[in-house]
């Protein structure tokens, strides 16, 4: 089959899978774009992935869907094999392909389970000499009632048929994917790539985090800066990077630090320096020895000049050695109140935003968390009805923690109150004061003016003056817009607070609304101010 026809057939398979109601379209977009069809016969399809993580993830989550789509389209069961081709990832990222890579030992042949069966885990095998090209002649086996999409029996497939035999383990471009969830006492160990729900709002951040976890230290993504509002999954991605590297590349030392904890340890080391001269040196040495350093909520170090200088020294030292640095914040580097030399260096690698999830993504998160609770928390006798899951997704804010807390509250009510038949009305009454989507609190125009003045560093006198310079007019329009959105006051009342008439207030709101649709910088500044004001 020529390449054009092969790609057409693969496109049909993808379209068919997207038609299944249970699939996550964002996951399909994120992962299937990283697969390439290589060969296809009457009952066999060969695909390649750019790295081991993509291969294993698709095998565990979507191989049965691929087989189902092939059966639906062609009427016969198909064997599907996925191999790793590092050159494919090099083409996609524009980086040089590795000169050598070690193929793991061929995997034993196995039937692919039905969609209801648990995912099959795999582990990296010891390197062996490259095998000869395998004979991909499938022997179909008839589907059964219990396993309608069983894979035909087929010979073992080398995971990397294109790699030469002279490679060493260190030359493998990405480590093997997670196969089991780690279960130590640290709750952060449960934050992995496999249980991160992917949607359009976080797909790019997920992809870049995965790239960094597979190949830490690449210049193009060093540092990796992840930003977004609180509760959207930044820490989950940071911990997923750490856990992935710890599991698959244990020779690398990863260090995760929350900025508040980093500041606390820095202060302790500084205070102890007078008593023990080595304390500060030991503090610095702990982070300098990291192969991968992850610092969460870097915006917390605003106005902490000495501590920020220490972070900057560590940053420069590690990146100069080709070691990976990952930072996160609730805003983009340029909007963090730090010296320009810091923000420019923080922006020198990959920058990616985690945006608020849409309804579909929130619903997927609710469903996955509800399933986990049923399996792991003793709630197997309960199932949250679909209409209540949708109610939670529609009424929660973008904060994922609030979303999960709502699910937990419903579960506890169902289990401990015996209300297994809870209705939407019951859930609404239970969660009446849970969601924080509205700002029903004692907030005034003066509160908003004060926070806008502080954010943009303008005086109150200038904000309500007749000055029309952009440095004054833009913050003024933002403040007027926020007053309208958060307080829902009449335009005339808002105008009076800014020494303006109602028509000027209308123009300010309209102008900001128009810019919000087109300018990401305006969106980010408004979102940041809304977060600040919501915490008053």
Residue 146: the pLDDT is 37
Q: Which of 153-167, 256-270, 437-451 has the lowest mean pLDDT?
A: 153-167
Question: In the block, which residue shows the tokens 């929350």?
Answer: 258
Tokens standing for residue 508:
């300010």
pLDDT tier, 275 (very low <50, low <70, confident <90, very high otherwise)? low
pLDDT tier, 436 (very low <50, low <70, confident <90, very high otherwise)? low
Kindly state the percentage of the chain with pLDDT values over 70: 76
Q: Which of 150-159, 401-410, 500-509 has the lowest mean pLDDT?
A: 150-159
Most confident among 106-110, 128-132, 141-145, 253-257 (mean pLDDT): 253-257
Q: Residue 455: is its pLDDT beyond 50?
A: yes
Q: pTM above 0.75?
A: no
pLDDT top residue among 324 and 229: 324
Q: CA 510, 515, 516 angle in degrees (round to 5)? A: 95
Residue 325: the pLDDT is 94
β-pairing verdict for 79-84 and 292-296: unpaired
Q: How many CB atoms lie within 10 A of CB 416?
A: 8
List the binding residues. Answer: 231, 233-235
State how far Cα 432 lies from the chain centre. Answer: 30
Q: Residue 46: is its pLDDT beyond 70?
A: yes
Taking only the tens place, the pLDDT of each residue in 394-420 is: 777 778 888 888 888 888 888 777 667
Taking only the tens place, the pLDDT of each residue in 324-363 is: 999 999 888 877 877 888 888 888 888 888 888 888 888 8
Most confident among 112-126, 313-327, 476-490 (mean pLDDT): 313-327
For domain 190-353, give its CATH number from 2.40.10.220, 3.10.20.30, 3.30.1360.20, 3.40.50.300: 3.40.50.300
Q: How far is CA 496 from CA 315, 462, 464, in A?
A: 49, 15, 10
Residue 101: the pLDDT is 39
Taking only the tens place, the pLDDT of each residue in 354-387 is: 888 888 888 888 888 888 777 766 666 677 888 8
Looking at domain 445-534, which CATH architecture does it have? Orthogonal Bundle (1.10)
Residue 174: the pLDDT is 40
Q: Which of 60-69, 71-80, 304-313, 433-442 has the lowest mean pLDDT?
A: 433-442
The SS3 assignment for 130 reads coil
Residue 6: the pLDDT is 87
pLDDT top residue among 181 and 56: 56
Angle between helices 502-518 and 520-534 (to 10 degrees): 120
* Contact between 45 and 80 (Cβ < 8 Å): yes
Residue 112: the pLDDT is 33
List the binding residues for ATP. Answer: 231, 233-235
Looking at domain 3-167, which CATH architecture does it have? 2-Layer Sandwich (3.30)
Q: Which of 177-186, 352-361, 493-502 has the lowest mean pLDDT?
A: 177-186
Residue 341: the pLDDT is 80
By CB atoms closer than 10 A (0-12, 13-18, 19+), residue 146 is exposed
Taking only the tens place, the pLDDT of each residue in 520-529 is: 889 889 988 9
Q: Residue 57: is its pLDDT beyond 60?
A: yes
pLDDT (average), residues 11-26: 84
Taking only the tens place, the pLDDT of each residue in 69-124 is: 999 999 888 888 888 876 765 555 455 544 433 333 333 333 333 333 333 333 33
Per-chain mean pLDDT for the chain: 77
By CB atoms closer than 10 A (0-12, 13-18, 19+), residue 142 is exposed
Q: Residue 481: is its pLDDT beyond 90?
A: yes
pLDDT top residue among 200 and 352: 352
Q: How many CB atoms lie within 10 A of CB 328?
A: 23
């Amino acid at each position: 089959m020529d390449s054009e026809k092969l790609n057409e057939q693969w496109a049909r398979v993808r379209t068919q899978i997207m038609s299944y109601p249970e699939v996550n379209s964002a996951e399909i977009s994120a992962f299937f774009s990283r697969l390439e069809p290589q060969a296809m016969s009457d009952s066999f399809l060969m695909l390649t992935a750019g790295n081991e993580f993509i291969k294993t993830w698709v095998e565990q989550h979507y191989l049965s869907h691929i087989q189902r789509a092939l059966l639906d389209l062609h009427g016969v069961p198909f064997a599907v094999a996925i191999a790793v081709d590092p050159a494919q990832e090099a083409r996609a990222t524009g980086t040089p392909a590795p000169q050598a890579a070690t193929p793991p030992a061929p995997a034993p042949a196995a039937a692919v389970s039905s969609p209801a069966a648990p995912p099959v885990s795999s582990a990296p095998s010891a390197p062996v000499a490259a095998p000869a090209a395998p004979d991909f002649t499938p022997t179909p086996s008839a589907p059964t009632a219990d396993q309608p999409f069983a894979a035909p029996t087929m010979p073992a497939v080398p995971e990397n048929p294109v790699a030469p035999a002279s490679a060493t383990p260190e030359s493998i471009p990405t480590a093997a994917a997670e196969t089991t969830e780690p279960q130590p006492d640290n709750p952060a160990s449960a934050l992995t790539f496999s249980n991160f729900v992917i949607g359009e709002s976080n797909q790019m951040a997920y992809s870049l985090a995965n790239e960094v976890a597979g190949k830490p230290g690449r210049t193009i993504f060093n540092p990796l800066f992840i930003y977004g509002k609180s509760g959207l999954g930044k820490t989950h991605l940071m911990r997923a990077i750490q856990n992935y590297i710890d599991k698959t590349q244990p020779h690398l030392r990863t260090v995760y630090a929350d900025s508040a904890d980093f500041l606390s340890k820095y202060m302790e080391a500084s205070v102890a320096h007078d008593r023990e001269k080595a304390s500060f040196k030991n503090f610095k040495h702990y982070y300098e020895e990291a192969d991968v350093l992850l610092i969460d909520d870097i915006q917390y170090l605003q106005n902490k000049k000495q501590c920020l200088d220490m972070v900057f020294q560590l940053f420069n030292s590690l990146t100069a050695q080709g070691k990976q640095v990952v930072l996160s914040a609730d805003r983009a580097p340029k909007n963090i109140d730090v010296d320009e030399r810091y923000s420019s260096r923080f922006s020198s690698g990959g920058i990616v935003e985690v945006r608020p999830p849409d309804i579909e993504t929130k619903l997927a998160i609710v469903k996955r968390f509800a399933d986990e609770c049923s399996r792991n928390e003793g709630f197997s006798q309960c199932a949250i009805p679909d209409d209540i899951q949708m109610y939670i997704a529609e009424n929660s804010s973008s904060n994922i923690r609030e979303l999960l807390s709502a699910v937990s509250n419903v579960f506890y009510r169902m289990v401990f109150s015996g209300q297994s038949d809870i209705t939407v009305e019951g859930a609404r009454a239970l969660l009446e004061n849970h969601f924080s989507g509205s700002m029903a609190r004692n907030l005034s125009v003066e509160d908003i003016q004060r926070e806008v003045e502080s954010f943009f560093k303008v005086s109150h006198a200038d904000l309500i003056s007749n000055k029309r310079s952009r440095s004054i007019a833009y913050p003024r329009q933002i403040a007027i817009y926020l007053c309208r959105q958060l307080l829902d006051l009449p335009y005339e009342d808002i105008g009076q607070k800014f020494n303006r008439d109602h028509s000027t207030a209308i123009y300010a709101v309209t102008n900001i609304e128009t810019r919000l649709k087109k300018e990401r910088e305006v969106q980010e500044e408004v979102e940041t101010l809304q977060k600040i004001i919501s915490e008053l």
